Structure 1
Amino acid sequence: MLTILKKEFNAFLNSPVAYVVIGVFLVATGLFVWVFPDSSVLDYGYADLQSLFNLAPWIFLLLIPAITMRSFAEEKKAGTLELLLTRPLTDGALVGGKYLACLLLALLALVPTLLYYYSVYQLGTPRGNIDSAATVGSYLGLGLLAAVFAALGVLASALTRDQIIAFVLAAVACFLVYAGFDSLASVLSGALAYYVSQLGIAAHYRDLSKGLIDSRDVLYFLTVVAVALLGTRLALRSRTW
């Protein structure tokens, strides 16, 4: 697994993909957090990074499928997947290595945003007047959200040999899991609406963003990741059916 992880991550770093993804993410979030008057921290009057954590999932919804779309689709199109599978490497190690490389790149895009936290911390009146617990929960939520999106993206890539189709499938799947259940719950009422909303990511992400790190929310994200990766492994095994 580590060999595949290293190979895939180096491939990202040796191509424009990593720099485009990180650049687009930082420019988009930077504009919303610091420049645009409707969401700027400087105009908002409160020392928090809510605009970042509200926007980041929507950016990830497009950027992470762009990262994952090549993981298996490119191998299939180039005919190198069968070569990989002839090596002493299990399907689980292959899936895990490619998945972790994609996830690591997505998480790498979050690292520079820690400067936003430091800046808001320093600008607060009094200094440090920021809800650090909520910020930590929000970063944890974003990391878990990226983990789910990356897993769905890798699954989509394993289902096709066309990168564009893989991108579209992944983006649609991420949108449905993130916002689809919330949209459906909005037209329902009572307990049914609550249970439907709990099937989607948004409700669990909102809970973490409040600084309430509940093991049930973490377990939800990990379960979705596990199911998606299991589906990817089954998709690879289907080649022998």
Structure 2
Amino acid sequence: MFPLFKKELRTFLSSVIGFIVLSVFLVLTALFNWVFLGDLNIINSGYADYRPFFVIAPWMFLFLIPAITMRFFSEEKRTGTIELLLTKPISELQIVMGKFLAGVVLVICALLPTLVFYFSLSSLAIPEGNVDNGAILGSYIGLLFLASSFVAIGTFASSLSDSQIISFLIAVFLCFFCYTGFGSIASFKWFGALDSVILNLGMEIHYESISKGVIDTRDVVYFFSVSFIFIMLTRFVLEGRKW
């Protein structure tokens, strides 16, 4: 599993596309939070509030993470190396976990440079350092949970097609629906008392809960469950190639 994990990291970080994907994420996030005028501009808010970053980051992840995961299995299928990989003395679950963990580490690599935004905000605060560190830490943890679920979804989408573009589009759709789709459905007054149940099926409400700085076990279990479900679905797809 770990050789596969290292291979995925090395392949992505050594490619031009990988560099472009990570750069686009960081540049767009910086522009929205520090340059473009609007509600997401941290400077214009007049407060040492890091919240705008955590508002825009999930929407950036909707495209960043599918771009990271789209080649995981699609490229293996296109080049025919998936059969060779499946004959190795490792299980389908280990193959999926190797690629999944590589995707999570790549997202962490994308997030680490954003700490520059935090230190910049902290230095601009009056008095210096007057920021809500607890809420910021909770929001980063929530972002990692959300990213992990998106990576699991993207890994599953990559296993469905030998086309990276199709895998990317499927992943974007599934991530978007899981993040905000259930909330949109719950906004309709058709389900009565079931509205809250449907709302809690979506990621957005759980992410916002953790972002308040309170780590609720229900939110943690939810994100682990979503990741587990899509990892198992990916494993099922791989096992199906042996039938």
TM-score bracket, shorter-length normalisation: over 0.9
Contact 2:74 2:162 in 1 (8 A): yes
Letter of the aligned partner of 1:198 in structure 2? N
The secondary structure found in structure 2 opposite 1:240 is coil
Post-superposition offset of 1:52: 0.8
Q: Give per-residue Cα distances to partners, 1:179-199, cap 9 Å, x unaligned.
A: 101111111376422221110
Q: Percent same amino acid at aligned positions?
A: 48
Residue in structure 2 matched with residue 16 of structure 1 by the alignment = 16
Match of 1:221 among 217, 220, 223: 223
Q: How many residues align?
A: 241
Q: Residue 144 of structure 1 aligns to which amino acid in structure 2?
A: F
Unpaired runs of 5+ residues, structure 2, are none
1:18-33 equivalent positions in 2, closer than 5 A: 18-33=18-33
| Cα RMSD after superposing both structures | 1.2
Q: Deviations over 1:50-106 (max 9, x none)?
A: 111111111110111111111001101111000111111111111111111112111
Alpha-carbon distance, 1:225 to partner:
0.2
Q: Residue 4 of structure 1 aligns with which residue?
A: 4
TM-score (norm 2): 0.96
Alignment correspondent of 1:91: 92
Partner of 1:37: 37
Q: Report deviation, 1:234.
A: 0.3
When residues 48 and 190 of structure 1 are mapped into structure 2, their CA distance, relative to the original with a 3 A threshold, is farther
Amino acid at match of 2:36: F
Q: 2:237 maps to which residue?
A: 235
Secondary structure of the residue aligned to 2:71 is coil
Q: Which of 69-78 and 188-197 deviates more?
A: 188-197
**C-alpha displacement of 1:2:** 0.7
Deviation at 1:142, TM superposition (A): 0.9
In structure 1, what is the Cα distance between the partners aligned to 2:218 and 2:228? 15
- Map 1:105-120; keep pairs closer than 5 Å: 105-120=106-121
> Residue 69 of structure 1 contacts residue 167 of structure 1 at CA under 8 Å; is this kept in 2?
yes
- Corresponding residue for 2:194? 192
TM alignment of 1:26-105, pairs within 5 A: 26-38=26-38, 39-105=40-106
CA distance in 2: counterparts of 1:53 and 1:176, whole angstroms: 19
**Letter aligned with residue 33 of structure 1:** N
Unaligned runs of 5+ in 1: none
